[in-house]
Structure 1
Amino acid sequence: MRPGDRWTLAGARWSRGGGDGAFTVTDPATGETVGEVPVGTAVDVAAAVAAATRAAPGWAATAPAERGAALHGAASAVERHADDLAALVTAEMGKPADDALGGVRAGIGTLRQYAELGPLHGGRSLQGGWSAADFMAREPLGLVAIITPWNDPVAIACGLIGAAVVTGNTVVHKPSERTPHTGALLTELLAGSLPAGVLNMVSGDGTTGEALAGHPDLDAIAHVGSTRTGRRVAELAAASGAKTLLENGGADPLIVDADVDPAWAAEQAATGCFANAGQICTSVERIYVHGAVAKDFVAALTARAQALRPGPGDDPSTELGPLVDERHRSQVHEQVEKAVADGARLRAGGRIPDGPGCFYPATVLDYCTDHMAVMAEETFGPVAPVRAVASFEEALDRANRSRYGLAATVLTRDMAHAQRAWRTLKAGTVKINAVFGGAPGGAATPRRASGRGFGYGPELLDEMTAVKVVHLETDVS
């Protein structure tokens, strides 16, 4: 199931949209063409914004229970086409099939979560005098632009769009230019259960995103993606006064304490560094390992990296899919080469393989230093840079020497160390003894250069609403 020429949705009208510009999406595993996509114009953006504006009053006035029921319907539509969406994710960005389907199922679960929580979302009241009452009511922000990434295009879009529409907002969705077919099909499935104009869409590249984020009629912009783009979104929002929800890049540290089994720690590190070829917002980007276990840890991590089976995402035996495109692979390899030139020791990977596609091997580097880009910046590839440290305190100190603050992981048997870590680390999420995981409905709020505002969880409903304070006097005598 492909979107065909349905690339722009404004109200009830789908069209191809775009002007003279277009771009080609290729399968990163084979190099074959997935499709050609028009570049949405400012005219397309204006039409989508106008449709969302027209729909806003009626949707805001719709009973919360009705909005929740509509979102349940949208979740059912996505569920019916889960395999189609997963296949598009694999074709466009290379994610192994099981992981791609897992992302779609996570999105469905998030839609149903918000369908249930949305009607229960409210404010609070205060008792003043006998004839007066004060209350804080939650109202929709209004018109929300949602700009979604390519690395988990269904789950993230479902979370942001679901929270926005269930709280009474209307939306203009701009999917990543790297996964536009996935974004278009997802929008079509969601919009089919909503009144016309509640969910709209424009496809395109960065120029389309710029036109959308800079539109003066927006009330909020939610963006998940690179730090550079997030900063530009913040600049545009500052000019219009739109609220921003930003999840930008990260350089998430992993700390390995002296008292853990180095083989187990290496398995955790391999998962954190190599899952989805390292293309996860909260991937492990730098590792600080206590010198007492560093040698065994690096040896085990190297063996695990060398054992991973690379291949196309539609092969069930694949453990490491390709990077999203050649441009991204070049950026990852450049960081690795520069680290080696600056003294890092290459233990595994680090070389671009022959053949088609954008594959990059699981790579392990040790003797890394904090000034190397592979440690200081977000690599977003299957790279594990390691630095040995003399103490747990040194690891905490080095982990905090970053402009980013998305997430951090600590592996330790010492609960005093665990307590000190979550108290000390300057990150929105701190994970103890597991690189991934967390309870359903968990929220996250990035810090510093990694962004602002809650993403996911019940708290996202707060972010998608504004508080109105009302003082009501009933005695008019």
Structure 2
Amino acid sequence: MSAAVDIPAGREQDAQDAAVIEIHNPDDGQLVGTVPMATRTEVGAALDKARQVQREWAREAPAARGEMLRAAAAALREQVDSLAALNEAETGKPRSEAVEGVLAGAGTLEQYAELGPVHRGKSLRGEFSATDLMVPEPRGVAVALTPWNDPVAVSCGLIGAALVSGNTVIHKPSERAPYTGAVLGRVIAGVHPEGVLQTLDGDGSVGAMLTSDDRVDVIAHVGSTATGRAIAASAARTGAKTLLENGGNDPLVVDADVDPEWAAEQAALGSFANSGQICVAVERIYVHRAVAEPFLDALVRQAEDRKLAPLVDVRHRDQVHEHVVDAIEQGATVHTGGNVPNGPGAHYPATVLSGVEPGMRVLSEETFGPIAPVRVVEDFDQGLAEAAEGRYGLAATVLTGSMAHAQRAWRELPVGTVKVNAVFGGAPGGAAEPHGESGNGFGFGPELLDELTQTKVVHIEPPPDLPR
């Protein structure tokens, strides 16, 4: 696509006075624009403003805060086309998927508009003459650090839950999607009191300024494990609460009793959707030897039939290719793909590998690209055991016709989400807590409201000189 999109007014101003981020269209390499990064002074001013207005915002009735989120959702739907165009230009996300992400974000705001006012505390049963309560209260100033691969939907979840709970929010979108983040921030902030939501642009250095400041009460981050660890270290010093969804290396186990054609369709969907740039993408595949040959043949056909959108940028494309090269050098076989195309942009083909071994990076690390590494196992026990290995614990999928195997899988896999016979899907309002190095805390659903509030216990009884 052309790099020509409607750039939000005001994003270019003062770029000469600050470090800037250059955004290139990953499809053709053309410059989309340059965005000035927030300075330390601007970060400090935003934190001061957030603290200044938070107490008054917390006094707003939850129902009123919910009405503002509904208004934000309506405004977001009106901006769906412009937001989707910006998202596509910045990250290469296909326009139709970008539209779905915006609509999902609007739906999430509406969900928290409903959930916020009914977020309950508890009454306790103490003495007859006393009242004992457990009351949820906002934590204070929340910092939301959000990713580029689904920049609207993920951001709306964290921002919506934080705002409806009475927190003020400073949002730093990914430096790979600052224009999308800027428009999103303006839409939501436009229906809220000044200072309740602020958006700051920048790379990891700006994120580090925010997360190391003791004026921040809660940090919600979706991104890499390395960044998550740095945030956790900072929060340990400042005392901020952290919610971290970090990297993943999600396995897919294919049992002997499933249709290999159908299993290959599921594997292709999990590995190649959004060019593999999904937090819960399939990153490693363990297939029973009994169906391995037809499964692999079908998976190769699936890969060759797919025309993928580019990866987010050349830097990321090079990291993906490094994992493939590492596997090839250690003896893996490339069935299709595995090469860097000629020409501009950050394109990479759907790639299928076999003969992969546990020590290879495509099995041990998060690749986050359109790579399907296939490891043949002798039986379900081996597949499940190897799928359970590793330092990450985001999600896993098992394709099986055996109820016994399905039961074992969801009980034994040390991950936050287990999916049986579908790589994607789930009921509305669901929440998952990452395991291992994939993070901590609930990042979705009603449970996110619990994470973004803290409980105060209240005990009330009359003074001793009054009748009881």
State TM-score, norm by structure 1: 0.95
Q: Which runs of 4+ in 1 moved over 3 A?
A: 15-19
Give the Å deviation of 1:214. Answer: 1.0
Aligned to 1:373: 361
Aligned to 2:126: 128
Aligned to 2:314: 326
Maintained 8 Å contact 1:19/1:39:
no
CA 1:407–1:72: 2 relative to 1, 3 Å: same
Letter in 2 for 1:280: I
Aligned to 1:464: 452
Distance 2:95 2:384 in 1: 37
Give the Å deviation of 1:23. Answer: 2.0
Maintained 8 Å contact 1:145/1:171:
yes
Aligned to 1:295: 293
Aligned to 2:76: 78
Letter in 2 for 1:169: N
Distance 1:469 1:287 in 2: 48
Give the Å deviation of 1:19. Answer: 4.3
Letter in 1 for 2:338: G
Aligned residue runs from structure 1 range 118-197, under 5 A:
118-197=116-195
**Aligned pair partner of 2:379 in 380, 391, 396:** 391
Aligned residue runs from structure 1 range 235-246, under 5 A:
235-246=233-244
Letter in 1 for 2:155: A
Aligned residue runs from structure 1 range 244-259, under 5 A:
244-259=242-257
Q: Single out whichever of 205-214 and 108-117 deviates more from structure 2.
A: 205-214
Give the Å deviation of 1:6. Answer: 4.5
CA RMSD of aligned residues (A): 1.2
Letter in 1 for 2:288: H
SS for the counterpart of 1:129 is coil
Maintained 8 Å contact 2:18/2:38:
no
**Aligned pair partner of 2:398 in 378, 397, 410:** 410
Maintained 8 Å contact 1:288/1:386:
yes
SS for the counterpart of 2:424 is coil
Distance 1:267 1:350 in 2: 20
Give the Å deviation of 1:393. Answer: 1.2
Letter in 1 for 2:127: G
Distance 1:75 1:305 in 2: 37
Aligned to 2:216: 218
Query: Is 1:362 the counterpart of 2:360 in the alignment?
Result: no
Distance 1:20 1:460 in 2: 35
SS for the counterpart of 2:38 is coil
Give the Å deviation of 1:470. Answer: 1.4
CA 1:18–1:450: 2 relative to 1, 3 Å: farther
Per-residue displacement from partner, 1:268-312 (whole Å, max 9, x unpaired)?
000000000000000000001111101111110011101112xxx
Query: Is 1:46 the counterpart of 2:7 in the alignment?
Result: no
Aligned to 2:7: 2
Maintained 8 Å contact 1:18/1:40:
no
Give the Å deviation of 1:18. Answer: 8.6
Query: Is 1:435 the counterpart of 2:423 in the alignment?
Result: yes
SS for the counterpart of 1:37 is strand
SS for the counterpart of 1:467 is strand
Q: Which stretches in structure 2 are left out of the alignment for 5+ residues?
A: 1-5
Distance 2:225 2:271 in 1: 19
Maintained 8 Å contact 2:189/2:196:
yes
Aligned residue runs from structure 1 range 5-44, under 5 A:
5-6=10-11, 19-44=17-42
Letter in 1 for 2:38: G
Query: Is 1:345 the counterpart of 2:345 in the alignment?
Result: no
Letter in 1 for 2:336: A
CA 1:342–1:364: 2 relative to 1, 3 Å: same
Aligned to 1:314: none
Letter in 1 for 2:111: Q
Maintained 8 Å contact 1:131/1:475:
no
Aligned to 2:90: 92
Distance 1:231 1:3 in 2: 33
Q: Single out whichever of 254-263 and 439-448 deviates more from structure 2.
A: 439-448
Distance 1:474 1:122 in 2: 25
Letter in 1 for 2:43: V
Distance 1:282 1:54 in 2: 38
Aligned to 1:209: 207
Give the Å deviation of 1:475. Answer: 5.2
Give the Å deviation of 1:476. Answer: 3.1
Maintained 8 Å contact 1:350/1:363:
yes
Distance 1:255 1:132 in 2: 56
Distance 2:52 2:386 in 1: 51
Count of matched residue positions in the alignment of Structure 1 and Structure 2 = 460
Maintained 8 Å contact 1:17/1:41:
no
Maintained 8 Å contact 1:278/1:383:
yes
Maintained 8 Å contact 1:52/1:171:
yes
**Between the two proteins, what is the percent identity of the paired residues?**
58
SS for the counterpart of 1:285 is strand
Q: Single out whichever of 244-253 and 210-219 deviates more from structure 2.
A: 210-219
Give the Å deviation of 1:205. Answer: 1.1
Distance 1:470 1:420 in 2: 44
Distance 1:17 1:448 in 2: 40
